[in-house]
Each structure stands twice: as C-alpha cells, then as structure tokens.
Structure 1
Amino acid sequence: MIAARGFGHTRTLDIARAAGVSQALLFYHFETKEQLIAEAFAYAARQHLNAIGKIERSPNSPTERLRALIRLSSPGTSAAGWRIWIDAWSESMRNPELEATTRRMDVHGRTVLKEIIAAGVESGEFTCPDPEASSWRIFGMIDGLAVQLHVHDKLISRRKVTQLVRTAAAMEVGLTVDDV
C-alpha cells in the first residue's frame, strides 16, 4: 500500500483494509501512523540490509566486495525499491521515527563501504587517502543519480547512471572502470 501510494498519501485505514485488520488493531501495535510507517519501511528495507550483510561478511577480495556493493546499490536496479527510498527520505523531514530509520540504514551502508575501501587500502588493492570521505562521495553520487533517474523520467538512462557510478567508484579507489 505504501509503495503504491507513497508515505504521505497512505492512510492507516488503507493499510488496515489491505491487511484485513481493524484500524484499532494497527494502533494497538503502533502508537502513531509515523511509527507504523517507520516500521513498514524498516521491514521493506531489511532485504537490502541482509544483502549488504552478505557482502560485509564475504571472504571475497575488497575489489569483489566493492563491485558487489556497487551493483547492489546502483540506481539502475529496482525502480520500486528506489522510489520507496526516495519517498522515505522526503517523508523523513516530517517524521522523526522514519528519519531515524533511514539514517541508521544509510550510515550502515556507508560504514560497510568505508570498511571495504579500508580493507582494499590495507591489502594494497586500492589507493585511497580517506576511505570515509570516499564512501560519502560514492553514496552521495548514487543517491543523487537515483533521484535523477527515478524522479525525472528519461532525463538520464540506466546505462549512463551505471557508467557514472562505476567510474566514480573506480576513481575513488584507484582502479579502472573495468575493475568495478
């Protein structure tokens, strides 16, 4: 329901009807609509976090893990997934519980990227003076291009977005685009 209508246009009555429960039961489990929305987003995003966790725990080389994380996080992936993220960021300006959830998830993704870059520097695979700054720049580009791709239809192609992200990530860690 939230994915179809967006956070701001979904009523608790709509959610209750779609779930086949009463609105009172929703408010028994969630004190506010804001809490319900934050929990719904967290539930939807757990799949992404589980995939990031697999990359984080992978025994693969830092280059392979970087490639996997960039592929997973690419704006060229699931349009529905990115629309939920973009909507969640927007709604977070008005919903403190959702803001805390999106912040926690964003920080986790950047932390994993920073650790992959640091491991690559330590192993000699990457050249990067500041893994934290690089993780901010890479995810900043990913997030910004996701907005351009999924909000402004036909402004930029998925192929071009993927190329830009791979090029930026490669430049940040001293690899060639073919490596990422």
Structure 2
Amino acid sequence: MARVRLSVAERRDDLLRAAVGQIEARGVAALRISDVAAVLGVSNALVLYHFETKEKLVAAAFAHAARDDLARLHVLLGRRGTALARLRGAVRWYAPTGDAKGWTLWIEGWAAALREPALREPVRALDQRWKAALADVIAEGAAAGEFRCTDPSGAAWRLTALLDGLAVQMTSYAGALERDTMLRWLDEALAQELGLGPAHEPGPGPTEPDGP
C-alpha cells in the first residue's frame, strides 16, 4: 500500500502534535528529537528539516497547543446564551481535569520559560489572550445588565490566577482536593467578581463545546 504524501503544513502539524504529546509525557528537559521522530516513524533529519533545533520545535509545539486552546475558548465564548452562562462554561472547561490542553504541558511551559527565552512569547501570549477573551465577555455581560463589574480586566486576572493556582496544586498533588470543592470555589469566585447574589445558583456548565 502506497504511503500518503503529506503537504508541508500537514507534516508540520503531525510533528507538532507528536511533540506536544511527548512534552506531556517526558517534560521539556528530557525531550529528544528522536522521541518525536519515533512517534511518527520518521527520521530525526526530517524533524530537524522542519524545525532546525529542539528549542525551535518546543517553542512551536507550545504555540500550536496555545492555538488549539484559544480556538476552543472562542467557540465556548461565542456560543448563544447569556454572558454568564458562557463564562461559567469557559471557566469549568479551563479548570484542572477539564478538557483544556493537559495542565502538565502548561506547567512544563511555565517552568521552562524561566530559562528558555524562545518559550516566553508563546506562553505569555496564550496567557494574555485568555485574560483578554474573558475580560471581553465580562464587559459584554456588564453592559447588558446581567451582572455588575466595573473592572473586567482585573476580574479576568483574578479568575485566571485562581484557576492557574488550583491547576498547579491539583496536577502536582493528585487527589489533594475534590473536584466538586474546586468547582464550588470557582463558582463562588465568579459570583463575587460579578456581584451576583445567592439567587444565581450555578448550573452544571458545559465542559465540552458542542458548536455555537
């Protein structure tokens, strides 16, 4: 059976997905070009042809993962429904053990970015765009009178800081906190940021987008 010839874009996409999986499994420091090549049954030379160095491959892999997460976030935030429902869905999807890219990957990225300048931009850009997207929907809901928030950007910062901190704890120390407890804390934090009273009981919230 003849092998399917991939376009350059398709080959790069396959290599980046393989690299993301290997970073999650092995970590950035232990990752080798040969690990990525072995996943796809290709040569080390092919990986290096597309990315030149391990550092460039790793930076591109994080940028690729960031694009995937941001695309999913925009699907969630662009759905029909109230701003509050969309925010809850996005927060619960982003939360640890949700379907956002494996938290092991992003914790690896934060740690590696301290020492690898090439990683700082994709990791920082993802963080900024997450905050901006949440702030936009918070501002939308406040303008529509759904809730009160005079500082959407500050609210987005505080919510993502809480989510990131919980992610580090729950990923590093499995079983240290019940998911139901974490979700309750997130609902309480969201209610506080949006000036919601106890009458606004949170629903289960979507964890997987099913289209706008």
Normalising to structure 1: TM-score of the pair? 0.91
Paired residues in the alignment total: 180
Q: Secondary structure at the match of 1:86?
A: helix
Alpha-carbon distance in 2 for matches of 1:89, 1:28: 27
Task: Please state whether the residue corresponding to 2:201 is helix, strand or coil.
Answer: helix
| 1:88 corresponds to 2:109 | yes
Structure with max Cα Rg: 2
Query: For 1:126-150, what per-residue CA distance to the aligned partner results, in whole angstroms no more than 9, with x for missing partners?
Result: 1112111110000000000100111
Q: Please tell me whether the aligned partners of residues 93 and 99 of structure 2 are also in contact (alpha carbons under 8 angstroms).
A: no
Matches within 5 A, 1:146-157: 146-157=167-178
Aligned pairs for 1:101-120 (under 5 A) are: 101-120=122-141
CA drift at 1:60: 2.2
Q: Flag the structure with higher helix content.
A: 1
Corresponding letter in the other structure for 1:95: E
Match of 1:59 in 2: 80
The equivalent position to 1:178 in structure 2, one of 201, 204, 210, is: 201
Distance 1:102 1:121 in 2: 29
Gaps in structure 1 of 5+ consecutive residues: none
* Distance across 1 between alignment mates of 2:52 and 2:113: 18
Which stretch shifts more, 39-48 or 59-68? 39-48
Counterpart contact for 2:112–2:119, Cα < 8 Å: yes
Residue 188 (structure 2) pairs with residue 167 (structure 1): yes
- The partner residue of 1:99 within 120, 137, 140 is 120
2:37 maps to which residue? 16
Q: Percent identity?
A: 38
C-alpha distance in structure 2 between counterparts of 1:99 and 1:166, whole Å: 31
Counterparts of 2:101 and 2:129 in 1: how far apart (Å)?
21
Please tell me whether residue 125 in structure 1 is matched to residue 146 in structure 2: yes
Task: Give 1:32 shift.
Answer: 2.1
Structure 1 residue 7 corresponds to structure 2 residue 16: no
| C-alpha distance after superposition, 1:155-177 (max 9, x if no partner) | 22222211111211111011246
**AA in 2 matched with 1:178:** E
User: How far, CA to CA, are the matches of 2:176 and 2:77 in structure 1?
Assistant: 33
Check the 8 A contact 1:128/1:172 in 2, yes or no.
yes
Q: What amino acid sits opposite 2:195 in the alignment? A: G
> Over aligned residues, Cα RMSD in angstroms?
1.9
* Contact kept? 2:96, 2:167, Cα under 8 Å: yes
Q: Is the 8 A contact 2:69 2:100 kept in 1?
A: no
The one-letter amino acid paired with 1:56 is L
Equivalent residue for 1:35, pick from 44, 56, 68: 56
How far the C-alpha of 1:125 sits from its partner, in A, is 0.8
TM-score computed with the length of structure 2 as normaliser:
0.78
Select the residue among 136, 155, 158 that pairs with 2:157: 136
Unaligned runs of 5+ in 2: 1-21, 204-212
Counterparts of 2:35 and 2:147, CA distance in 1: 50
Residues 79 and 150, structure 1, Cα contact 8 Å, conserved in 2? no
**Alignment partners' CA distance in 1, 2:150 and 2:35:** 50
